[in-house]
């Protein structure tokens, strides 16, 4: 049977012809490209099958010829949205240990247990936030974990509603930074602004420092709630384990270093700073000396 195929105009059209066990793929056409009229084509047998092109949404198909050619309809499919690959960032070495210097003076600090020093206590879970300008803050984290330590910031008291989370994960002896959002106890990888990343791993103690722009609360004030977590990390696959939350704070003003922060999980104040008697000794000795001198002067006058 002799059949003449009329010219067609298609968008990204692909025609697959199966003839006597041989598969032939016609050239892919670009948008608005037309096919020149074909010569008279003889179809050898009814084994020849023409597959209609995949259609974009709202695209109409050209009529298919009748005869010994079988037309197979293809259901239109929506376009697939490409997603950006999320990668971790390797931190540069942190030369000095994270410590409590400046706590309650220049930076807001959170400890668990209260008052622990992250530079000497390997199991001290610690975070400090020091305002640079506006909502730009320098963050320090320290904690005992075989995988990662993380800090979450929430604009309300309901933690876990897609709240921005900054993660420091141990990859051997180095630290990698990962950003995510915390939602219903799950970490969902995302891209967030993070800079000046430094980190160190000492056994199971992970420490890191970085700069971020903290989220703005719905009331346009500086009050935020924070949470500190630990969890497992697979350095090969990049998989993050479920976060174990050890500190969950009330809403506090992060621009006020001296504000009192309470761990809502333990009802303990997490900002307690240990005091030492040495700072008070000079004043005490000075008072005793003054008293002694006054007493001697009185006795000297009495003897006259």
Residue 218: predicted pLDDT = 64
List the structure tokens of 7.
């010219």
- Residues 182-234 pLDDT 10s: 998 899 999 888 899 999 999 999 999 999 999 887 666 778 999 999 999 99
Task: Give CA–CA dist 98/108, Å, rounded.
Answer: 14
The pLDDT of residue 160 is 83
Please check the confidence at residue 88 and state whether its pLDDT lies above 60.
yes
Cβ pair 125, 115 in contact under 8 A: no
Q: What is the dihedral of CA 233, 239, 244, 250, to 10 degrees?
A: 110
pLDDT in tens, 117-139: 999 998 999 999 999 999 999 99
Confidence (pLDDT) at 296: 53
Q: Which residues pair with 263 in a beta bridge?
A: 249, 268
> What's the pLDDT score for residue 73?
46
What are the extents of the domains in the chain?
A: 1-74, 89-275
Is 174's pLDDT higher than 70? Answer: yes
Pick 89-275's CATH classification: 1.10.10, 1.20.1070, 3.40.50, 2.60.40. 2.60.40
**DSSP secondary structure letter of residue 272:** -
Structure confidence at residue 97 (pLDDT):
95
**Of residues 265 and 8, more confidently modeled:** 265
Instruction: Name the band, by pLDDT with cuts 50, 70 and 90, for residue 286.
Output: very low
Question: What pLDDT is attached to residue 192?
Answer: 87
Query: What is the percent of the chain where pLDDT is above 70?
Result: 59
Q: How confident is the model at residue 78 (pLDDT cuts 50, 70, 90)?
A: very low
Average pLDDT, the chain: 73
Q: Where are the beta strands (DSSP E) in 135-221?
A: 136-144, 148-154, 161-171, 174-183, 186-189, 195-202, 205-213
Torsions phi, psi of 286, nearest 5?
Answer: -65, -40
Q: Among 146, 192, 191, which residue's Cα sits nearest to residue 171?
A: 146
pTM for the full model?
0.62
Instruction: Give the confidence band of 297 by pLDDT, cuts at 50, 70, 90.
Output: low
Task: Output the pLDDT for position 219.
Answer: 64
pLDDT digits (tens, 9 = 90+) for 259-269: 999 999 988 77
The pLDDT assigned to 299 comes to 52
């Amino acid at each position: 049977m002799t059949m003449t195929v009329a010219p067609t105009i298609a968008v990204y059209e692909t025609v697959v012809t199966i003839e006597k066990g041989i598969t032939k793929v016609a050239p892919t056409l670009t948008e608005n490209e037309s096919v020149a009229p074909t010569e008279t084509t003889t179809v050898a047998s009814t084994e020849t099958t023409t597959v209609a092109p995949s259609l974009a949404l709202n695209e109409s198909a050209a009529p298919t010829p009748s005869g010994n050619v079988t037309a197979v309809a293809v259901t239109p499919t929506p376009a697939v949205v490409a997603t950006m690959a999320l990668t971790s960032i390797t931190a540069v070495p942190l030369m000095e240990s994270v410590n409590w210097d400046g706590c309650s003076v220049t930076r807001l600090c959170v400890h668990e247990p209260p008052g622990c020093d992250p530079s000497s206590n390997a199991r001290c879970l610690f975070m400090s936030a020091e305002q640079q300008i506006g909502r730009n803050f320098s963050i320090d984290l320290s904690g005992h974990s075989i995988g990662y330590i993380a800090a979450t910031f929430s604009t309300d008291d309901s933690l876990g509603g897609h709240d921005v989370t900054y993660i420091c994960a141990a990859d051997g002896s180095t630290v990698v930074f990962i950003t995510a959002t915390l939602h219903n106890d799950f970490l969902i990888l995302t891209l967030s602004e993070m800079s000046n990343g430094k980190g160190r791993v000492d056994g199971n103690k992970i420490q890191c420092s970085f700069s971020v722009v903290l989220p703005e609360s719905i009331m346009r004030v500086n009050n935020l709630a924070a949470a500190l977590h630990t969890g497992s990390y697979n350095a090969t696959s990049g998989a993050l384990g479920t976060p174990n939350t050890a500190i969950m704070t009330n809403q506090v003003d992060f621009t006020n270093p001296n504000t009192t922060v309470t761990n809502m999980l333990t009802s303990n104040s997490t900002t307690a700073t240990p005091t030492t008697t040495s700072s008070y000794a000079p004043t005490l000795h000075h008072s005793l000396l003054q008293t002694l001198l006054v007493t001697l002067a009185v006795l000297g006058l009495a003897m006259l």
